[in-house]
Structure 1
Amino acid sequence: MSKFKAFLKGNVKEAEQATLKLDRFDEAIILRPLSSGEADLISDRCYKNKPGRKGKQERVFDAIRYNREICVASVVHPDLNDSELQDSYGVRGADNLFSELFLLGEANQILEKVTEISGIDTTFDEEIEEAKN
């Protein structure tokens, strides 16, 4: 019997999607958790080179862009890539639609839910406290 049998792809439980009901919409939106690989790809896109001290280039992380991109990647329903939905808001692209479709508070609720279902909503201190109990 393999020591890592539980980790083989066929034995791993599917990550569950979550629904989030926002007051302005009659339907709930559906969100999916992100894998660490997806988050890494998004993270890589969120670095910019900016001039630093003595003209040297410094890599700067854009946290706002990162948060937006993980939210956009997590939305399953409505389909942010749907051209009819984009046309109704007069935008092109899932990122632009997200910005037009959701209010700031709604975007924050989506971000909170995405981080929760993706398992990044707990801090290291919280994990230590849980381990102590």
Structure 2
Amino acid sequence: MDFQEFMLGNALPVENRKVTVSKRFVKDGKAIPWEIRAITNDEDETLRKNFMRRVPAPGKAGKRGQYVQDFDGPGYMSALCAACVVYPNLNDAALQDSYKVKDAEALLRAMLTPGELGDLAAEVQEHCGFDVSMADKVEEAKN
């Protein structure tokens, strides 16, 4: 079996991508592109763990002290977007101060409209590979 193509040195890097998130931030009459990156699996695992919590189980089970896992999807998505944005620098103190916020996630919510934030989330998910279902991958492999 030959698997040399799978060795680290042969894997193509995931390049950063420039995307138009908003038409409201302009320079010379043109929308300023944002730059996003794909996070690593380790970074994603850490983010996911940060948004898992134990909550009392519904009904009688919760009254008996049983718990279930609950995932804060919107919180995770907000953190994922903040982690993937390279430009503008969401951790820049002057930029945060101009919007009167103190962290990258709050800055995104302050800078963007809900639709723009949704567009950013879609771009981030696609760039991180979350947009392709297994059925799509099977169909692509057939062709």
Whether these two folds match at TM > 0.5 is: yes
Distance 2:133 2:13 in 1: 24
Hey, what does 1:14 align to over in structure 2? 13
Question: In terms of mean alpha carbon deviation, does 60-69 or 4-13 score higher?
Answer: 4-13
Detail structure 1 runs of 4+ shifted over 6 Å in the superposition: none
Structure 1 position 75, deviation (Å): 0.2
Name which structure has the greater RCO, CA cutoff 8 Å, separation 6+: 1
3-state secondary structure, aligned to 2:135: helix
Structure 1 counterpart of 2:106: 96
Aligned equivalents of 1:125 and 1:85: distance in 2? 42
Shift of 1:37: 1.5
Q: Match for 1:19: what amino acid?
A: K
What is the alpha-carbon distance in structure 2 between the residues aligned to residue 132 and residue 81 of structure 1?
A: 44
**Identity of counterpart residues, as a percentage?**
31
Partner of 1:43: 48
What SS class does the counterpart of residue 92 from structure 1 fall into? coil
Once residues 40 and 5 of structure 2 are traced to their aligned partners in structure 1, the CA distance between those partners, rounded to angstroms, is 18
> 1:8 deviation in Å?
4.0
Q: Which stretch shows the higher mean deviation, 77-86 or 10-19?
A: 10-19
Q: 2 CA distance for matches of 1:123 and 1:4?
A: 25
Task: Measure the CA separation in 2 of the matches of 1:62 and 1:46.
Answer: 5
Q: Secondary structure at the match of 1:48?
A: strand
Q: Give the drift of 1:92.
A: 0.3
Mind listing any 5+ residue stretches in structure 1 that lack a counterpart? Answer: none
Offset, 1:105: 0.8
In structure 2, distance between residues paired with 1:46 and 1:5: 37
Please say which structure displays the higher CA radius of gyration: 2
Task: Evaluate the alpha carbon distance shift between residue 6 and residue 125 of structure 1 in structure 2; reply closer, same or farther with a 3 A threshold.
Answer: closer
Q: Structure 2: which 5+ runs fail to align?
A: 27-31
